Amino acid sequence: MNTENNELAKSVVNEVLKNDLFSQWLGIKILEIREGYCRIEMTVRSEMINGLGIVHGGICFSLADSAFAFACNNRNNLSVALDTSINFLKAVHVADTLTAEVREIHNGRSTGLYQISITNQQKETVALFKGTCFRTGKKII
Amino acid sequence: MNTENNELAKSVVNEVLKNDLFSQWLGIKILEIREGYCRIEMTVRSEMINGLGIVHGGICFSLADSAFAFACNNRNNLSVALDTSINFLKAVHVADTLTAEVREIHNGRSTGLYQISITNQQKETVALFKGTCFRTGKKII
Amino acid sequence: MNTENNELAKSVVNEVLKNDLFSQWLGIKILEIREGYCRIEMTVRSEMINGLGIVHGGICFSLADSAFAFACNNRNNLSVALDTSINFLKAVHVADTLTAEVREIHNGRSTGLYQISITNQQKETVALFKGTCFRTGKKII
Amino acid sequence: MNTENNELAKSVVNEVLKNDLFSQWLGIKILEIREGYCRIEMTVRSEMINGLGIVHGGICFSLADSAFAFACNNRNNLSVALDTSINFLKAVHVADTLTAEVREIHNGRSTGLYQISITNQQKETVALFKGTCFRTGKKII
């Protein structure tokens, strides 16, 4: 993971995020980008709750899915999500700040496997996401 | 699946949806509610795209997760999602109308398993969701 | 799904099964093969139980994984499993006869998605398997 | 994780393994047992291959599933697998020695989440398993 690759990673993610209107709606901020890696955060707003008064599962998933995209695409090899899963470990509440951090488990030529943990402001893991992607070989920028 | 149970199912879902601000933001409409079942739809808006110009995976997941909640909770037994997964089969575009339909695979005393298919306005399956829930035994309404 | 493709499917599966020593140990029998599809069965033996006296989860998974392989490879395009999952719905007992049946959900050029249901001799679903594969483009026979 | 709990964990696993005929067939050996944790190994035999000449996916799954059972049950609270998934990262060959190590991600009162990594004798990760269990509250020994 050299400097040049990390610079490319940042350029790709900046370009992607510029057009990513849903990640913008979520309020996602980039904390760190490296080759095959990212750490991002968002703060939960009241319009993100479900009918039981806690935060909708789709919010955690969306944050993790954005982190997945920012990590698995950032070698400038357009990758599409095939199978993703998420386990919910702890309820999330309005005003919580969630951080998603990526671990690249496998970076294959044609496919990749990533794990994303989501923690709240008390460093408690609230959800664990797993994503398999297929690499198309197309450039993004 | 008798009439009384279906009436209870409708009452629970109406109550849940009233407080579900994120499902409201998504624009989810209820098409059909029965015991352990629902069919819901939404139309994709431009603010829902990701950085690659197609609809963010979190939108499909959120629609499916709402359908999951509306089906697995509607016997008035508060249930929490444990493990969920989603496979993405086809890109979704702005202005597509997505329908989520639930199949209850297992309705256990303590746990349940549900499958939700998401189709677009051309009846093409765009995503397939699977969810396992734990039943708390608490009432919702 | 024409006759020629179904004949090719049978030839591929026969060749694969001939070398598949673990499927042979399991006692798997082919009931039906068609393009992108198969139905197979096995009868559980006492050496297949786990420490709690019921059949080991690995037995159901293995039966489903063989069915997955026989279906996703049978267009003579060598495919490798990426992500697979299985939900266990009902305990399996010694002497049960298990049937695995494949549903091809997506047959893409580079990837595929398959669902396999496992039922016992009373037609009860005991497990539900999902598998995503990557197609290498190599021939098998 | 005190000594007493670790002793209980060992007693439970020893009792379970004594009756676990399929784990015995696999040749599973216990390397380490602690509360909510285990590390086990097995060596692949020629009868464990699939029709493509590599080790059948069911073998890796079965090893991981045994590790899952030995970890999630070892507080003497009978637990049943609900949803499990496995990602295959690298082909396994005859004569490989596989080690499965458990990470307990969540130990809830009613449910638990475990991750099991499988590595070969070269310390390469060949598969990654995830399992959600439901705790019945019944004792095992």
Q: Which pLDDT score is estimated for C1?
A: 56
List of chain C residues whose C-beta atoms are within 8 Å of the C-beta of residue B125: 105
Q: Which pLDDT score is estimated for D62?
A: 98
Reported as a pLDDT band with limits 50, 70 and 90, residue A1 is low
List of chain B residues whose C-beta atoms are within 8 Å of the C-beta of residue C91: none
**Nearest-CA distance from B81 to chain D in Å?**
11
- Nearest Cβ partner for B65 among A17, A21, A57: A57
Query: ipTM score here?
Result: 0.97
Q: Which pLDDT score is estimated for D96?
A: 98
Q: Which pLDDT score is estimated for D16?
A: 96
List of chain D residues whose C-beta atoms are within 8 Å of the C-beta of residue A113: 87, 89, 128
Q: Is the pTM of this model over 0.80?
A: yes
D35-58 confidence digits (pLDDT tens): 999 999 999 999 999 999 999 999
- Nearest Cβ partner for A19 among B21, B51, B65: B51
Phi, psi of D139 (to 5 degrees): -85, 155
How many Cα neighbours within 13 Å face the side chain of A74? Answer: 29
All domains in chain B, ordered by first residue: 3-135 (3.10.129.10)
Contact B130 C130 (CB under 8 A): yes
List of chain C residues whose C-beta atoms are within 8 Å of the C-beta of residue A130: 83
d(CA D37, CA D22) in angstroms, rounded, equals 20
Nearest to C88 by CA among A130, D24, B108, B70: B108
Q: Which pLDDT score is estimated for A3?
A: 92
Quick one: closest CA in A to D131, which residue? A87
C5-58 confidence digits (pLDDT tens): 999 999 999 999 999 999 999 999 999 999 999 999 999 999 999 999 999 999
Q: Which pLDDT score is estimated for B1?
A: 56
Q: Which pLDDT score is estimated for B2?
A: 81
d(CA C140, CA D112) in angstroms, rounded, equals 41
List of chain D residues whose C-beta atoms are within 8 Å of the C-beta of residue B133: none
Quick one: closest CA in D to A128, which residue? D105
Q: Is the pLDDT of residue A98 over 80?
A: yes
Q: Is the pLDDT of residue B130 over 70?
A: yes
Identify the burial level of A56 via C-beta atoms within 10 angstroms of its C-beta, where 0-12 means exposed, 13-18 middle and 19 or more buried: buried
Q: Which pLDDT score is estimated for A128?
A: 98
D16-28 confidence digits (pLDDT tens): 999 999 999 999 9
How many of the other CB atoms lie within 10 Å of CB of B26?
Answer: 22
Q: Which pLDDT score is estimated for A109?
A: 95
Residues of D at the A interface, defined by Cβ within 8 angstroms: 85, 87, 89, 105-106, 113, 125, 128, 130, 132
